[in-house]
Chain A
Amino acid sequence: MEIIGTALNRVDARDKVTGMAKYTGDLVGPHALIAKVLHSTFANGLVTSFDLSEAWKVPGVVDIVTCFDVPDIQFPTAGHPWSTDKKHQDIADRKLLNTRVRFYGDDIAAVVAENEIAATEAVRKIKVSYEEYQPLLTIEAAMQAGAGAIHDERPGNVVVRSSYEIGSFEDAIKEPGLIRIEGDYETPIVQHCHIEKALSFAYMEAGKIVIVSATQIPHIIRRICSQALGIGFGDLRIIKPYIGGGFGNRQDALTEPLNAFLTMRVGGRPVKLEYTREETFCCTRVRHAMKFHIVSYVRADGTFAARSIVAYSNQGAYASHAHALVANAVNGFRMMYPQGAIKSEAYTVYTNLPTAGAMRAYGIPQIGFALESHVDDIARATGLDTIDLRTRNMMKLGYVDPPTSITCHSTGLAECIQKGEAYLKYRQKREAYAAQTGLVRKGVGMAIFCYKTGVYPISLETSACRMVLNQDGSLQLQMGATEIGQGADTVFAMMAAETLGMTMDKIHVMSRQDTDTTPYDTGAYASRQTYVSGMAVKKTAESLKSKILDFAAFMLNKEAWDLDIKDNQIVRKNMGTPLISVAEVAVESCYSLTNSTHIAAEESHHCSDNTYAFGVCFAEIEVDIPMCQIKVLDIINVHDSGRLINRQTAEGQVHGGMSMGLGYGLYEYLKFDPKTGRMLNDNLLDYKLMTAMDTPELNAAFVETDDPTGPYGNKALGEPPVIPVAPALRNALLNATGVAVNSIPLNPEKLFFAFERAGILS
């Protein structure tokens, strides 16, 4: 392969460094109306009435809608492919505006005005009367006997409970000589913090509602808006320009359904609905907080005889992606170490907190923290080597996961571990740091992960691609799959160039999706696009190539099977001698007086396979015990994501994921008033998003395998880098101090109490 596997600059880099790249906010015309939402200032209750008289008096107000004016339709918001099987459909549990308020910040009314100041002022002047109920802010409170139902459809507030058992746990633990290790682990609510706020603008044109939105999933947004408004799919058109980050938050319908309704209310005039940063924190989606109880029975040689897990996931107010996250987490618990009997029980629970949805790696950072912390706890209890313990029990090549049939088609995990170990000199340092006594101590830690590529067989995996040849021999590449910053457009262009035998400058990516014209794809999530959509690119390129060669054969009076394309030239297969250029074929195909034809291709790919990506993080830290502070001295992630498509963007994904993992492990969490449920740190000053100064030098390394199921041997990469960082830091802290801290972030206020309990503070 000539192009695949090289390091190329992004196809959108120039537009982005010159300010030419257009984002949703750059496409709003100067005369758009501005919408603002009134959010509830109580977490649990019922709106009984509004007094809008003062709000209507604000000059410039065009329309005011309340929860009493919206269609009586409950709709789902999760960005999943729709299931025609009722049992697998997402939970429809919210309206465009809600009378029954379920979190502090729920949408209860909206104002459309001629300018932002008027809209903001009118929202402030709406008076609300309501009945307030006791907010249920924790899983324990929501599950307590007698707790009121947050949604009438789920009286005990449990959204879903699920369980599985592989082998017999009860039989397995009867084996003599087993060592029992038990632990509780907890992860916090955090937020995606894409730098572009949540926004969309909507208008009507040619009888359709057009929504321009910062979304990862334009085709799914069209389906959700159609359900929310009770109108046809064809009555809606979604346009997705460049977006300022997604990380899963935009794998959900956010502002779009309400905004579509608002433009209908004002006769199709353009309406911009842009959340503030505070609203983006509180009123979009967050990462699920989870709690895990793990019990392991381990043989003296370190092999796992039996393990059990009980998991609780805090869903917040609305179902969104609901149980899919914790289900993914407990499946990951099984897949990573598929040894012995394994038993799981998982609960997703409604609470009166902001809604949790998808976020980078979808439940796996949560289980990754719990599981990899627990494995170090096992090593500590048994005296076994942390690496040997993992390699003995981890997934091996050829593994077939019993419930899902997902097969390990390739693995470089053992090599990843070796590479990381050699870089950090982990074993040597681990021993050296084992018995320190000073106030400032060093420690090393590591953690591994496995991650599925896409969502098969849980959900549909489909993708389509279109290529249209221009008269100069260049082509438009059009994808339903979306560029969200991860570099999708660039790798799709590389795949097209590679398969067609053309150079990169001939591939024009149409980055903007428009559901009226863009081929179907479910969008950017699950690290699926290079794997699933990449296959659509490959198939379309093959189809286009065969059409070009057919026409060339006609022109040259040769057989198409004997021709190939190399460097934009038609050549004799295996000979390489240029016969004619693709440009000449393109011109003739367009203007031939005897045989003109439009050379274009469109193919869709229905993916019915999956494969595991793997990786490891090794970290070295310094702990200042009196200051209760952790400083990262060195950190490396080593990934097996199959063959790399673009080394530059691959490395970028690893850096970004590591940074998000460092934030998750050390700094980030959303804080709520325990009385009212109000979010307390809903801004970028009080929420500790890492700055460049807080970030250590990041090292990204790879072990390349050639996955037989990937279109170019490739596997998932976008999400995985975030997974192993937090547990590696926690295990480094354990190595440094002997103190096991089982919840993140490992910030000073947590370390203070942990160190005090351990008696190492004085």
Chain B
Amino acid sequence: MTRKTVTCTINGKRREFSIDVRSSLSEMLRGEASLDSIKHGCDVGECGACTVLIDGRPFNSCIYLAVWAEGKEILTLEGLTDTKGTISDIQQAFMDEGAVQCGFCTPGFIMSSIPIITSDTPASREEIRKQVSGNLCRCTGYENIVNAIEKTQKKRIEERKGSGKK
């Protein structure tokens, strides 16, 4: 068993881990960093429950080797809540729109929605559906998940417009 040191930024903090080179990023984040929002639903990149952002782009962390994370910036669901426990608008929208049921796919969906809500180009419902189609949910029929993302996207675009005018 070969071990290797991986240094990366996780949720804004520089971290260093000594890991088995065979480990996936999801195993490192759950096992070494105790970031339990990362869920394993298939272990082969089919379900999206382990989605995290790597340098701003969503990846299935179960099929991303931990060693590839060297020097990368990783954002997990835990990183969306600030140090005082205030949650982000997309998390609040998932609550308010009833986009959460069993909750197991929720962390992955919220992470996959971040590129949509941070983009300056408004996405149609159809485009939102396309962008989260790597995440599977069996409880909600996706209806309220799409609603939550659409609502947050609109709100953020309005906010950016508002601040731009000032």
Contacts and interface: CB of A to CB of B under 8 A. Distances in A.
Contacts of B22: 117
Contact of B98 (A197, A651, A662, A698): A651
Contacts of A683: 42, 44, 46
Nearest to B96: A9
A725 to B, nearest CB: 11
A485 B102 contact: yes
A197 B140 contact: no
Contact of A693 (B41, B106, B130): B130
Nearest to B137: A195
Contacts of B103: 12, 15-17, 21, 242, 244, 485
A195 B138 contact: yes
- Dominant secondary structure of chain B at its interface with chain A: loop
Nearest to A7: B98
A126 interface: no
A656 B145 contact: no
A693 B133 CA distance: 6
A102 interface: no
B104 A659 contact: no
B81 A684 contact: no
* Most central of B87, B103, B134, B137 by chain A CB within 10 Å: B103
B43 interface: yes
Given A19-B78, A692-B132, A196 B104 contact: yes
Given A242-B103, A693-B130, A194 B96 contact: no
B39 A196 contact: yes
Contact of A698 (B96, B129, B136, B143): B143
B94 A13 contact: yes
A695 B146 CA distance: 11
A246 B100 CA distance: 15
B33 interface: no
A656 to B, nearest CB: 5
B100 A698 contact: no
A276 B91 CA distance: 29
Interface in B93-116: 94-96, 98, 100-107, 110
A348 interface: no
B53 interface: no
A14 B102 contact: no
Contacts of B143: 655, 695, 697-698
Contact of A243 (B41, B102, B105): B102
A486 interface: yes
Nearest to B45: A685
B95 A14 contact: yes
A659 B39 contact: no
Contact of B104 (A245, A648, A660, A697): A245
B133 A195 contact: no
A327 interface: no
A242 B37 CA distance: 13
A108 interface: no
A652 B144 contact: yes
Contacts of B142: 655, 659, 691-692, 695
11 contacts: A10-B95, A17-B91, A17-B92, A244-B103, A485-B139, A649-B98, A655-B144, A656-B140, A657-B141, A684-B42, A697-B125
